[in-house]
């Protein structure tokens, strides 16, 4: 079994929450890009930015849960 004190210390690490904040801003940038134009380029770019934000967010959440 893992040590609960060490697990709580890891979950409270500020770097996890900084990464989560950065990922949120990346996702918001993807939403903003979606409204720049109605073309294949802008839609594709916004989807890629959103996917990057989702991947970073999931990485941070799983690091917190670890």
Compute the distance between CA of residue 66 and CA of residue 60 in angstroms, rounded to an integer. 10
Which whole number is the average pLDDT over 37-65? Answer: 94
Say if pTM beats, i.e. exceeds, 0.85: no
What is the tally of structural domains in the chain?
1
Domain, as residue range, for 56 = 4-65
Predicted confidence (pLDDT) at residue 13 exceeds the cutoff of 60: yes
Q: Who contacts 45 (Cβ-Cβ below 8 Å, separation ≥6)? A: 33
- Summarize pLDDT for 15-40 with one digit per residue, the tens: 999 999 999 999 999 999 999 988 99
């Amino acid at each position: 079994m893992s040590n609960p004190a060490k697990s709580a210390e890891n979950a409270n690490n500020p770097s996890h929450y900084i990464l989560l904040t950065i990922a949120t801003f990346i996702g918001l940038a993807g939403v903003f890009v979606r409204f720049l134009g109605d073309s294949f380029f802008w839609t594709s770019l916004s989807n890629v930015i959103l996917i990057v934000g989702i991947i970073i967010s999931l990485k941070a959440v799983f690091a917190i849960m670890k």
